[in-house]
């Protein structure tokens, strides 16, 4: 089995058979000419299959250690496809500090189809077990969570869920497969917003589901074609370009993320830092065991909304924008941006304060990033 770094570059990739091009071409076509009635070259219609998309799906399946991948138009479309595995009356247990868009999909859309959801701190196995019911069919986990960066023990929670006949889904967007590989811990499905670390250049929107079980693979292949929320060939090509540098980018994200977290932890005007790489993080030991490095996401609390507003408006190298995982550093205010759709009482319950700031630490020179933070926060 090739190493991770090699899989990023070569997994699912073959030179173009017609030209020998080493980079997968962008097959920008809506349909395919058939040789004769009932005989084609593996593709009939571009919603059903596309060679560029197929190359990306094979690449990401190899990187995550799965059997098959299915690329969608966004991370939310990918999560919606996973939810289509469920039926009316089914129950799902979800990490309480889940992404605001996931919460919105579950509570505002999928409950209308007769699904029910319970939100618990999945870092606490007792709470997970208490939330399981005879109707529970799926456990949906984010680890680290967005934006509090709380962890779930994947090996332990997967064993618990499987003992109750519950499938385990892990949103691995925040970590990336370089940092964390949920399938190796027993998860059944892994989902990513490819918009983030997999693409890495903030120029594509997409999603991927990686599966290992036959029944999941069969259904996801069907629903990808039936519902049609596919990833286009150009976006697939952009993500393929991104995965070729995933290993080197993530190594730098890890290094810069740790350096920024340590800097913030030592700053007198910062009240709290959320980063699993810090020994002060309550689950640091789990992070060291479960993750390869600690990623580029850092959150910190400056004590007041006005203080957060001042920092957000002063930052220059850290661009004020939603999203994450690009080579450039970004900053956001979760309460008014990524988690605005989450009710205030729920935000308070998960520790998401008005004074919390989330950083997506890029791969710029670390001294430049520190200097930007100094001028924004003060000495």
Which are the catalytic amino acids? Answer: 47, 99, 171, 196
Q: What is the DSSP letter of 311?
A: H
Report helix angle 305-314 to 366-377, nearest 10: 130
Q: In the chain, which ranges are continuous DSSP H helix? A: 4-10, 51-64, 75-83, 100-104, 125-131, 154-163, 214-227, 233-243, 246-265, 284-290, 305-314, 344-349, 366-377
DSSP 106: I
Dist CA 339 CA 320 (whole Å): 15
Q: CA-to-CA distance for 161 and 343, rounded, in angstroms?
A: 28
Q: In terms of residues, how long is the chain? A: 379
Taking the C-alpha atoms of residue 357 and residue 117, their distance in angstroms, rounded to an integer, is 28
CB atoms within 10 A of CB 234: 12
Q: Cis omega (within 30 of 0) on the bond before 144?
A: yes
Q: Which two tokens stand for residue 242?
A: 């991104």
Residue 234 CA to residue 27 CA, distance in Å, equals 8
Q: What is the CA radius of gyration of the chain?
A: 21
Q: Which two tokens stand for residue 190?
A: 């892994």
DSSP letters for 166-201: -EEEEE-TTT-TTT--GGGGT-SEEEEETTTTTT-S
Backbone phi and psi for residue 175, each to the nearest 5 degrees, phi listed first? -90, -45
Residue among 169, 179, 178, 246 at smallest CA distance from 208:
169
CB 260 within 8 A of CB 369: yes
Which residues, 6+ apart, have CB-to-CB distance to 76 below 8 Å? 101, 102, 105, 193, 207
């Amino acid at each position: 089995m090739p190493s991770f770094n090699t899989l990023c570059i070569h997994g699912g990739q073959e030179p173009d058979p017609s030209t020998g091009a080493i980079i997968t071409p962008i097959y920008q076509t809506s349909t395919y000419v058939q040789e004769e009635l009932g005989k084609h070259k593996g593709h009939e219609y571009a919603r059903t299959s596309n060679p560029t998309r197929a190359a990306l799906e094979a690449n990401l399946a190899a990187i995550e250690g799965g059997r098959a991948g299915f690329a969608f138009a966004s991370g939310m479309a990918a999560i919606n496809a996973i939810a289509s595995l469920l039926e009316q009356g089914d129950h799902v247990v979800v990490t309480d500090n889940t992404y605001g868009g996931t919460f919105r999909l579950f509570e505002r859309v999928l409950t209308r189809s007769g699904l029910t959801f319970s939100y618990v701190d999945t870092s606490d196995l007792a709470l997970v077990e208490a939330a399981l019911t005879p109707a529970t069919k799926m456990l949906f986990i984010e680890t680290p969570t967005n934006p509090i960066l709380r962890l779930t023990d994947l090996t332990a929670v997967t064993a618990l869920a499987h003992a109750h006949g519950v499938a385990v889904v892990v949103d691995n967007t925040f970590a990336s497969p370089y940092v964390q590989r949920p399938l190796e811990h027993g998860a059944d499905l892994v989902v990513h917003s490819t918009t983030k670390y997999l693409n890495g250049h903030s120029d594509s929107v997409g999603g991927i589901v990686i599966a290992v079980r036959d029944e999941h693979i069969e259904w996801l292949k069907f629903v990808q074609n039936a519902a049609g929320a596919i990833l286009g060939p150009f976006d697939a090509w952009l993500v393929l370009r991104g995965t070729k540098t995933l290993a080197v980018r993530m190594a730098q994200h890890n290094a810069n993320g740790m350096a920024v977290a340590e800097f913030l932890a030592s700053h007198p005007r910062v009240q709290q830092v959320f980063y699993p790489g810090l020994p002060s993080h309550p689950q640091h030991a789990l992070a060291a065991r479960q993750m390869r490095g600690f990623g580029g996401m850092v959150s910190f609390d400056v004590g007041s909304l006005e203080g957060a507003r001042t920092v957000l408006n002063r930052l220059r190298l850290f661009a004020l924008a939603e999203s994450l995982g690009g080579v450039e550093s970004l900053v956001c205010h979760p309460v008014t941006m990524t988690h605005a759709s989450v009710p205030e009482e729920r935000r308070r319950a998960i520790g998401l304060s008005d004074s919390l700031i989330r950083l997506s630490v890029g791969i710029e020179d670390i001294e430049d990033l520190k200097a930007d933070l100094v001028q924004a926060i003060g000495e």
